Amino acid sequence: MKEKFFRGVVKHKKFIVIGFLVFALISILCKQFVSVNYDMNSYLPDDTASTVSIEVMEKEFGGGIPNARVMVSRVTIPEAMELKDKIKNIDGVDDVTWLDDVADITIPIDTLDKDTVTTYYKDSNALFSVTINEDKTMEAVEDIRTLIGDNNAMSGSAVDTAIATESTTDEIKMIVLIAVPFTLLVLILTTTSWFEPIILLVSIGIAIVINAGTNLIFGEISFVTNAAGNILQLAVSLDYSVFLLHRYKEIKGEGLEPEEAMIQALCKSTSSILSSGVTTVIGFLALAVMKFKIGPDLGLALAKGIALSLITVFIFAPGVILYCSKLIDKTEHRSFMPSFDGVGKLVKRLIMPSVILFAVIIVPSYLASINNDYYYGSSKIFGLETKLGQDTKNIEDEFGKSNNYVLMVPRGDFDTEENLSNELKSIKEVTSIVSYVDKAGAEVPMEYVDEDILSKLISDNYSRMIINVKTDYEGKEAFSVVEKIRSIAKEYYGDKYYLAGQTVSTYDLMDTITEDMISVNLLSIGAVFIVLVISMRSISIPAILVLAIETAIWFNLSIPYYTETPLFYISYLIISSIQLGATVDYAILMTERYIDFRKEFHKQEAIKKTVSVVMVSILTSGTVMTGVGFFLGYVSSHGVLSQLGMLLGRGTICSLAIVVFVVPGLLYILDSFILRKKKVVFSKKEDINLEVEEVI
C-alpha cells in the first residue's frame, strides 16, 4: 500500500510540482490579509473577570482604561493645560486625565494637597494619564510622540503595543535575512552537492509559504506566531527533507535508477520521518488546550505548518529532487564534514560517565525549572536598552511607579460610593481617586455638574472610579493591591462590581496561564509518548526517549533559576512543548539506527556506528535550530520573542548533548531488555566476544 502510493507520487510528479507552486503563489497573496495582534491582554479568555469588566466599561462609557503615561518637562500649569487639550484632540485618544481632574487648579497650587499635586505635576514636569483607543493605537502613539518630541517620555501598554508592532515587523525581516543565508551555509557544509541546499530550501520554503498564507483561516494571528512561526517551521521541519535526501542518495549509490531509488527511499524513511513529524505536531497541538489564547494560536499554526511540511516532503520534494537529479550529480563535491567515527568512539568510551551524570542532574534540573521567577504581562517586554525602557525609567524616576485601575459600581447610592472611596484611599498604595463623589461630592446634585465630567464618571447603570496606584504593573505588591480592591468592592457591592486595568488583566493572566502549565505539559508528554508507543510498538523505548528530552528541557529551564533571571511565563510554556516536539526527532533517529545496526553488530560497535552515521543529519537540523533561536534572541527587542529565541537555541544544544552522549548510553545499558521487547535477533557469539573484550 505504502509503495503503491509513492509510485503514484513519483509517476505524477509533474502535476504535483506545478500544483504546489500554484498553491504557494495563492498563499503569498493570502498572507497579505492576515492581521497580527500585539496586545497580550487581549488573549485572555472571554469570560475572565477583567475581560468582562473592560467590555462592560466600553459599553457604558464608550472608552477604555488609561493605558499610557505621557511626561512633558519644563512646562507651566497653563502650558500643561494647553498641551492636555492638544493630546485630547489627537485622533485615537479617548481621554486625558491630569491634575485639574482631581483638584481645583484655579486656587494657588501651594494650598492643594501635596501628594495629589506631585502625582501629576512635579518640578515643572507634567504627567498625563492617557486613554488610547485600541483600534488606533499605532497612529495615536505616533502623533503623541510627534507632539511632545523625543526629549519627553511616554510609556504604558498602548505604547508597548505600538512599538512592538513597529519594531517586530522590521526585526522579522532582519531575522529572515540572517536565518536563510545561515541555513544555506549549514546545508552547504553538510551536503555533498552545491545544488542540494537549494532543493532543501525550496522544499521547506514552499511549505512555509503555504502555511503562512493558510493562516488566513484564523483571521488573525498573534505576534509570537507572526515573528517566530516561519523560522520555527524552518528549523523544526528541515530535517525531514534532509533525512529523505540522505536516504535517497544512499540507496541510489547502490546502483538503482533515480525513480526507483526515490520510491525505496520514501518507503524506508517514512517511519522515522512520520514518527518525528507526528510527535512534533502533537507537541504543538498541546498548546491548543491553553486558556491563554496565544497558546492555541501558535500551537495550531505550527501544527498546521509541520503537517504541511510532512506533506511537502512526501509529495512535493520527491519530484523536485528527481527533476534536479542530474544537477545534483553534476555539482557533486567532496564532503566538508569530517568523519564522525572519532565521535562514535568517544561516546562509546563515555557511556557510563554520561549516564551517571544524566542521572545526577535529573532531579535538581526539574526542581530548579519549576521554581523560576516569572513575568506574566507585557510591562517588562522592553528593556532599558530600548527607547521605551528609558522613557519608562525617566517617568518612574520623576513621578515613581504609577498604575490606573477602573472600578465600576451600580450607580445611585452616592453615600455608599463615598464610603467605598474613603476605604479605598486607606490602601497605602492608592495615591488618588477620580470619581463623582470625589469630584463633586455625594451631596451635589448631578444637574449641577459639568456634562463632560459627568459623562466620564456616571453612565446609565454605573458609577466609575479611576484609581491611581503607585505600584509597578505586575509583581507581588501590585497583585496584592488588586486583591485588596476586589475585597473592599465585594464588601460593599457583592459580585455586582467590575474592576479593570492592566494590572488586573495581568493578575487574571497569571491565574490563567499558571493553570495551563500542568495541562499543557502533561498533554504534550503523554501524547508524544503514546505516538511513540504506537509507532515503535514498545513502551520502554518511548519512556527512555521522552525522559531524555524532558531532562534536556528541565536543564534548559533551570539555567534562569541559577542565574536569577526571571522568565516570561508564556516563553516558559511554549518552549516546553517546542523543545520536546522538535528535538525528540533526534532521539528517534538515533534509536532506530541503533536497532538496525544491532542486528549486525555487538552493542558497543552498534553504538559507535550509530553515532557516526546520524551525526550529520542531527547536526544539520540542530545547528539550524540553534542558530535561528539565537538570531531571534539577539535581534528581537521584544522581550518575549527574544527570550523564546534564547531558550530555543540553548534548549537545542541541551537536547543534542543528551541525544548524542546519553541516549546511546541508555540504549547500551538497557540493550537486552529493549531488543527482547522489539524481538530483534542478534548474534550471541558477538556478545560473548564483547564480554571477553570488556573483561580484558
The cell numbers describing 510, all together, are 497569571
CA atoms within 13 A on the CB side of 574: 29
Tell me what pLDDT residue 15 has.
94
User: Buried (b) or exposed (e) across 592-611, using 16+ Cβ within 10 A?
Assistant: bbbbebbeebbbbbbbbbbb
3-state SS assignment for residue 626: helix
- R_g over Cα of the chain: 30
- The structure's pTM equals 0.80
Enclosing H/E stretch for 220 = strand 220-222
Tell me what pLDDT residue 70 has.
93
List the end-to-end C-alpha distance of the chain, in Å, as a whole number.
50
The cell numbers describing 187, all together, are 546545508
Tell me what pLDDT residue 456 has.
72
Calpha distance 188→620 (Å, rounded): 10
Over residues 193-249, the pLDDT tens digits come to 899 899 889 999 999 999 999 999 998 898 888 877 888 888 788 878 888 887 888
Residues of the chain falling short of pLDDT 50 = 441-448, 683-696
The cell numbers describing 282, all together, are 502533537
- pLDDT above 90 covers what percent of the chain? 27
The cell numbers describing 177, all together, are 535575512
The cell numbers describing 56, all together, are 462592560
Q: What are phi and psi of 96, to 5 degrees?
A: -135, 130
* Residue type at 308 in one-letter notation: L
Over residues 624-678, the pLDDT tens digits come to 889 988 988 888 888 888 898 899 999 999 999 999 999 999 988 887 777 665 5
- pLDDT above 70 covers what percent of the chain? 94
The cell numbers describing 115, all together, are 501628594
Tell me what pLDDT residue 543 has.
87
Calpha distance 539→506 (Å, rounded): 41
User: Distance of CA 278 to CAs 53, 309, 524, 542, 562, Å?
Assistant: 41, 11, 12, 14, 34
Neighbours of 487 (CB within 10 A): 9
3-state SS assignment for residue 372: coil
3-state SS assignment for residue 366: helix
Tell me what pLDDT residue 440 has.
56
3-state SS assignment for residue 400: coil
Tell me what pLDDT residue 141 has.
92
Q: How far is CA 450 from the centre of its chain?
A: 48
Tell me what pLDDT residue 104 has.
79
